[in-house]
Structure 1
Amino acid sequence: MARTEESQRREADRKEGWNARRWYEGIMAKQKTHMGGAVTETELLIANIDRSVTQEVRSVLDQATVDLYAETEDEWSATAPVDVWWDGAKACYASDGGHRIAAKEKNGRKKILCRVHRCDDAESALTLARLHAFGPANHAHGRARTPEDKRKTVRSCIALPEYAGESDRRIAEICKVGKWLVGQVRAEIAGAPKPAPRTVKADSPPKPAPTPASGRATTAEERVIESLTKPGVVEKLVERLESEDIVESPEVVARPPAKEHKALTDARGRVVPEPMVSLFRLGRAFAADLRGVLHEAADGVKSAAEESWGIGLAQMVPTLEADLKKVAQDAAASLPWCCCPHVDQATGEHLVEGKCRVCINNRGWLTRHNWHQLGDPIKQLIDEHAEPDAEREDA
């Protein structure tokens, strides 16, 4: 009898997990449906952006990350918009990008590139901004969340009336954390002892991921999103977007025409041909993002080492930091570093017929690894294309 009851309990637990995942995926699918046709990228005044939602999911603003983003602003400024949820009037909530905004302010900037999601009213904008901030915004990208960040996210989520009655599994799905952590936070709020996290034996085989089952729950946020997807709402938003009142609104500033920027140069001081600019910019942006991710990974291990369960991690931190630094250096050395001397400056075309002896597969650019394999005459030929006053990066 005891075995049957235990099997039934486990089956009920699995079904609850499936329904929680299905419920969350339904919300996010409707959110994407609402966003379709109502999302634009534009530069907004930082002073008009409400950052209260980002503060609900971060325990502190990490100054090291702000400094890193400030130093590498040119590498991400045009390719990493901040997600902002706008009610069509004045309310404008940022759901991520707190460190990027702070980096812009540190550099004295007044505006930042944003991905604006237009909503029907301020309440809907705030609800969708929170949904995005609690889960997707910082789960897969940006500065890695610390254990305290995750706890604060859970506390902020269950403090809201529309989520207070949800199960631990559903809160865990929203916040992208473990169910046991939600139980711990709720116990802390109630003043009860913390439930111990589930332990897995070292020799236990990994459990297969459960397959989502059918099931749907009706909640406050789901009803809000359903109201946003009613017939005619999207058309109304498009008409409002196209109207003169929206374009001229002082609260949202249209992105100005592209300004004349200083020509991009490669590591050896040559101006990169226009057709190849995107290759070099994307490569540098990736290298900067990777440095940030690895830096955050090291910070995450350091934070875990301060927990009672992670004391054993402290001894591996120096080795880990050295390894991550090596990974970042190797990755940067495998990206576009300088132009091949046989590339036409105006068209970006490779002028050598047949196999080029400088670049690989006639692609028109070299990595830092390739540079080390060249002879001095080829290096001098490359440096002859450099601008007179351009700075050169040492290999």
Structure 2
Amino acid sequence: MTPIRSSQSSVPPIPSPGIETSSTSLHAAVVKRDSEAVARLRNEGLRANTLNVEGRSPLDALENMRDIDERSRSSLHMALLQSLNPTAPLGYTKPEALHGTAWGLEILQSGALKGGVNDPKGGTQSLEGKVFFSDRTPESTTDQTTRPDLRRKPRDYSAGEGLHPSNAYSRALQHRMAQVILHALDNGKTLSTSTASPSIEVANPKQPQIEGAAWLQRLLHASYIKNIGGRKFIGAPLDEHLDSLKLPGSLALKSGGQVNELRVEDLNRFYHQAASELQRSLEDGKAPYLGLLNKGGIVPLVFGFEKINNLSTHRIHYSSKIKQYSYQNTEHPLSGSSENGGKLKEVEVRSLADFATLCLGCAIKEVELPANLIVRIKGQNGEKAQYLDDQKIVMFRQKLLAQIAEQAGDEPLQTLSLHRLQAINSSIRANYLYASGHHALRD
């Protein structure tokens, strides 16, 4: 199969006389089985997301063609989806469905996307326990195109943010702030206090850590993480912003009609118990591991898949329109399935630094990246995205693992404390923070 994009990407496309540039031109070229015309039209600027009068995209038209041989179908499919980005591997086709997540390492570890693994989203029209995708379908029944910016929503979701304390972004930052509290108390430093004096209902006043952890989680989320005040703790040394973190100067534990006022040493002991329990629960799977490894900063990933069949549609009513979201009832294996297809082909990261953190996480958890995977490094400041194929991924990981080994010595990564692993992560990220995909692989 011949790629449609010339390897000499600097040569401008030559307009072809006689080819229409209306919204149906690509549809007509598909019906005529003319992959060269499709390629030419796309190079001239036509996008393959326009719907015809029947509400079908050129990809839909191709999918509905029955009397066509597989070679012609494959050529047309490549012509419609091949990346025109000159930095992409020649012949590489774009994903047809995307899923953004802050839980990338856990997904790679399990080998599947699973709905409802973590806490409910809680929206009034939310559909819980499903696996959602951004695919090449219209976002609204009134749209004239399929989703115009296919990657935008998955990128939004990959940040892990939300209103509730259970969202991934909040939990990663809760963990970092719990580390700040414990570091201060373990080193005899004084916690800054406020004039607040809340009360907490506990089942056992001698073991208040469960209720204390839940209370501390809500406090950190509401007072710091929901606004920009919590961001300063991400990646910062544990004692750098200690003065910015204020906890109540007194607190009452209520149990069975009894009230126990906590101050000074008793209060610090309670804070240590609450922070320790919160940290433990988050490290036991309630927070994305890469967010913990990255000192409270989420490492967003966008998974790109081949065509996924048999997706259902969830409709949410907004004031101006009804929006449609594609989902699957069951878990989706990264390898795809014979019935639904959808093999993982691409993982997008924000930067090489994020990919370095992902590779470190994989090494710690002994997770292998899928074979034949393309890693897409999101373009920054208007730059084109960069791509790592199998060979470049191997080169990158070899250099990275050598850097990790220098810092870990003979100790297996699995035996190192999280604090030590966080330090290693910070060091390797610094090596790749400003590097592009191309320059990072040079000797």
Q: TM-score range by the shorter chain?
A: under 0.3
Q: TM-score, normalised by structure 2?
A: 0.22
Q: TM-score, normalised by structure 1?
A: 0.23
Give the number of the structure whose residues are more often strand, by fraction: 2
